[in-house]
Amino acid sequence: MEHKWARARKRAGLKNRIMHDLRRTAARDFRRAGVSEGEIMKLCGWKTRAMFDRYNIIDEADLASAVAKRFSTANGTVAAQKRVSRQGAAA
């Protein structure tokens, strides 16, 4: 298997990659696509949450995306909070 993996890495231009890099990438890409943690664990063969956490890498882009979602007016969150705040102030 190692010989085939080395050949595949060379052809893909991924000389210094290891098999686990692909698992990390898969976990991150599944999560970003909205796949549930349970489904990701089944797809990747992980039985424990600890293994999911080990491979599920959260980077700066993920954190920025989370903040953007939180304050997005497209999903009505900010607008709804402003209405609630104004209603609470009027009471």
Of the candidates 8, 9, 55, the residue with the CA atom closest to the CA atom of residue 29:
55
The answer on pLDDT for 36 being more than 90 is yes
DSSP label at 48?
A: S
For 65, the domain range is 60-91
pLDDT tens figures, 10-33: 888 888 888 778 888 899 999 999
Specify the pLDDT at position 88: 61
The number of distinct structural domains making up the chain is 2
Q: Are residues 52 and 64 in the same domain?
A: no
Residue 37 token pair: 């943690």
CB distance 88 to 82 below 8 Å: no
Alpha carbon distances (Å) from 84 to 68, 72, 78, 81, 89: 20, 16, 10, 5, 9
Q: Are residues 46 and 25 in the same domain?
A: yes
